A and B are shown apart, each in its own frame.
Chain A
């Protein structure tokens, strides 16, 4: 029996990635990292800033996301996100730019606790990307 399932990552303006042969995906769900294998129960959750790890036959891939929604149903994993970058493609300058954005956000005086937490998460993850 194959242990593979389908993943689809969708951007607002296009379908970002589609794979049929992934064996495991780890996503940064809001309440902690969440791993998906085949025959996972149907679930809806949303993401916090972090790394999506996709493990498939053709190799492992890492993606950095800032937010999104994840839905798993009938061995279909859909991730809706407006900000996703492949980790290997993030150059030094892009990383610095994102980091700067996040730091600016974190230092806003009128920020709510939740946004502050999210911005801090972004900074932490971005710093580990080197």
Chain B
């Protein structure tokens, strides 16, 4: 399609060298992490592959013996060594990269596009890693970002995209329809290893709030393990845990209310501190430039935590419209999950439904932000509240709807 990135011949040569020399030398390193292909395993077992990744559980001999004992198909993962003795050194110490060159992984997503916009606006040179697809992400190119094609699930496509990159911002998540492990775990591990081998100087990773407390939810478990993996890798990194995006509310509640469709609500008492993705992007770049934040784990939460009921009420108020709420008891969600588990091919659906466990178990999905604000030097008043966000959204959309209605009057003659 287009050239992946401006790689000079010399760089390409050294890249090849790295691929030829460095990566294989790491493969036989002892102390590899193991993980079992969860295809053949039931859910609790697949939990263990993740847990063994945590270094405190790491006992090479015993874990390898269990793997052989169970006789399951094992896949080997190299561990990124924190102590750089045999591990990766900077690929090309003589070729400094510009600190403004960043790579955004998952740039087409809800958060990713805000990250790209913010970065471009602040004067970064942004490269976006997107999967090759028939309908290319033209909007990223229109904004002035460089788009490179690669797929995290195909590790061999990754290294070329990292040439000349200073910072990686990773906001990718697998699509609901594909196996969760493919991108969220294997892809991330490959990316982090590659970043380490190629001397990437900073890595920003987005995780989920409280992911360490919910090992039963696959996505959260994977995020937690990735956090651990990144911390062990020795790369300069910032881990940002998020609670929920305001943008998600639009599709889930606001649009159905406007279209007078039924809204799926739960009676769960969970409260989520929604946050505007633009604020997330803004805070991310402040954190990125702050050396004090290096290696820290931050949690970004919105100014207030909301229950589903409160959000729906708020939407109703701004829309001036009653919502048809179909309340689903959390217990039903749980039963659905048990049912879907029966069918192996719907494993991912079951995994995603497992999120309902979190909904029922956790009452507040939020965290006090004053410390983070202080660390980043941000005024909490600048963070958009959900009321403000929804009010702006509904004002805009109702105005647009009015315009469309005014236009449609003229076409009434056709009816």
Q: Do A and B bind each other?
A: no
- Interface residues, chain B, with chain A CB atoms under 8 Å away: none
- Interface residues, chain A, with chain B CB atoms under 8 Å away: none
